[in-house]
Amino acid sequence: MIERRILLVEDEPGLVFTLTDLLLSEGYTVTHAGDYASALAAIRSGGFDAIILDLMLPGGSGLDALREMRSRGDGVPVLVLTARSSVPERVVGLKAGADDYLGKPFDSEELLARVEALVRRTKAGAGGVGGERRVIRFGDVEIDRDRAEARKAGEPMQLTVQEFRLLVFLAEHPGKTMPRNRLLEEAWGYAGAAASRTVDMHVSSLRQKIGDDPAKPRWIVTVRGFGYRFEAEA
């Protein structure tokens, strides 16, 4: 069996026990960090397939740890698990580099489904979206699926795993309008109307990174009431 390693960053003892037991029962190997310093040390040590990250930690903010790892180009998928689940706080977390967001209290089955989706994407490789085309180019952006990276004007772009998968999937289907639930299935591995806002936030972040004007997007076009369409370069 392939080992699946999870880093659990959480300071509440009862929740640590519950989550650890839940993840172990599903065959995951769990490493726990209960404060900011130990979380940062564990993240830097690497070797994890996914990270469950609380934002309110003794000694610091989980957001700072998230920003630090993304600034180093660490693309390990992160599920933010926190009581701070308002829309503005979700936006901040996603912009900092979170791949998914789940508020407390949460449903155990939903958490396991989201973690499984993140780990499956990691094991499959970020460039594993279907299709034979390995390099996609538009404007001054180049998506290299074999290297699982994107470049703009020759410089590497700092994309999360989900942003990369979302961009690849859209770019591989030019001219086709994709509903949000389909994008959730392809980039996150699950579907759900309640999570459609997650797609909107990631699209907004992608537009900024590829230089797409949100007021008049050239590449990722919004189809109101339905989803998004990628417009290939003429």
CA 219/CA 138 separation, integer angstroms: 9
- Average pLDDT score over the chain: 83
pLDDT at 41: 93
Report the candidate in 4, 38, 5, 31 with the shortest Cα–Cα distance to residue 16: 31
What's the rounded mean pLDDT across residues 42-46?
89
Q: Is the pLDDT of residue 124 over 60?
A: no
Domains with residue ranges and CATH for the chain: 5-124 (3.40.50.2300), 135-230 (1.10.10.10)
Average pLDDT estimate for 2-27: 92
For residue 105, cis peptide bond before it (omega within 30 degrees of 0): yes
Alpha-carbon gap, residue 50 to 23, rounded angstroms? 12
Distance between CA atoms of residues 145 and 152, nearest Å: 14
Calculate mean pLDDT across residues 148-161. 85
Q: Count CB atoms within 10 A of the CB of residue 104.
A: 12
Three-state SS at 49: coil
